[in-house]
Amino acid sequence: MSLGAMDIFKFLPAGKKETNANCKKCGCATCMMFALKLSKSQVESSLCPYIPSELSDKLEHNKKVQQETVLLGNLKIGGETVLYRHEKTFVNPCALCVCLDSEDKEFESKLKRILDFEFESIGKKYRVDAIYLKNPTDESVQKIKSSGIEVLNDDFLSKLKEVEFKGLAQTVDELVKIRTKAIVDRDENYSKPVFVRLFGDDFCSLCSIASSLICKYSNMIIFEYFDEALFASLITLRVNIYTDPQKPLQVESKVYEFNNPDENALVFMTTNFALSYFAVANELSSLKCGSYLVITPSEGMSVLTAWSAQKITADIASRVVSASNILNKVKNKQLIIPGLLSDLKDELQEVLPEWKIVVGTTEAYKIPEFVRELQKSSS
């Protein structure tokens, strides 16, 4: 575990309420400031003459690498520094790989399915991370590499530690032990990233086992079996685990267009929280009519959170709508706001008098029905 400012501060003179507290010899105004900088490795501990040996030992111990990072082309494996994502963030997603034998008579068709597989989640495209080739030929290796997918080889695998699958409970126990030794104890014997090979072709069993291994704590899984739905499910889980909790997923604040909007297009608005955007965008794409979606700059907060934190206000919304020039692009000047922002309707109506503010749905999936009703009532 890394040492936080408070962990360090309690060893310093101010933390121990000693007379030489805050003496400024280190160049910092206070011991707390020094502790903060030391926790971020912005200063050397030797600048304070009062550091006790217990703290020096802890700082020295903390310099040891917890888990190594191993590179294969664009694929990065390992490098984790925390046991739980909420402590900071996980770094490199568990790589999902497939093993293929180029002497298998179905090799070409199996390879084609893997190379063709592409899955989009929250605006990002994902593929199989790497292929481990048994009996590789130059031609097959070249074909995989030119598709942008990495080829695993034994040299690369030797930089990782293989954990043999011996049933789910026993394997997870082993992975937890290894990760704890690496992260908490900084034990060099456990600093290699780990991988597990999964055999068999039972979809449900592979899906549940691999899900557990992604959560705790395999850095890479090699499957003998490939299935698009299996990989799509596992990638969805992985995306959720490996997002950085310190950085809300957000999209650019601007006006997005769906289905070639013309003057009859509808105009919707929501915040720049990525999940809100994609939920609404999916529904707007499915409509038969064109539409605009105005995205406000709300620091990646969902609608209700942004409203509570004053990150979406009538002024912010009106600035984005006014700057977008959509007023001149549509005949029906209705601005459809999220149902959760109904309390903002009157204020918005005041600052955007050219628009009719309409309260939309609280859930994105209700948008198609809402639009049908809206079009019925205006026809």
- Where do contacts with ligand SF4 occur on this chain (CB under 6 A)? 12-14, 20, 22-26, 28, 31, 34, 48, 50
The answer to whether 104 and 219 are in contact (CB under 8 A) is: no
In angstroms, rounded to a whole number, what is the distance separating the alpha carbons of residues 275 and 272? 9
C-beta closer to ligand SF4: residue 43 or 274: 43
- Residue 46 Cβ vs ligand SF4, minimum distance, rounded to whole Å: 10
- Residue 43 Cβ vs ligand SF4, minimum distance, rounded to whole Å: 9
C-beta closer to ligand SF4: residue 20 or 137: 20
C-beta closer to ligand SF4: residue 5 or 304: 5
Tokens found for residue 10: 């309690």
- Residue 29 Cβ vs ligand SF4, minimum distance, rounded to whole Å: 8
- Residue 205 Cβ vs ligand SF4, minimum distance, rounded to whole Å: 56
C-beta closer to ligand SF4: residue 42 or 246: 42
C-beta closer to ligand SF4: residue 50 or 107: 50
Spatial CB neighbours of 369, under 8 Å, sequence gap ≥ 6 = none
C-beta closer to ligand SF4: residue 13 or 261: 13
Q: Of 166, 165, 168, 163, which Cα lies nearest the Cα of 209?
A: 168
DSSP, res 298: -
- Residue 12 Cβ vs ligand SF4, minimum distance, rounded to whole Å: 5
Spatial CB neighbours of 266, under 8 Å, sequence gap ≥ 6 = 289, 290, 291, 292, 330, 332, 334, 336, 371, 374
Q: Where are the beta strands (DSSP E) in 94-237?
A: 95-101, 119-121, 124-126, 130-134, 150-152, 161-162, 194-198, 220-223
- Residue 40 Cβ vs ligand SF4, minimum distance, rounded to whole Å: 15
In angstroms, rounded to a whole number, what is the distance separating the alpha carbons of residues 51 and 11? 7
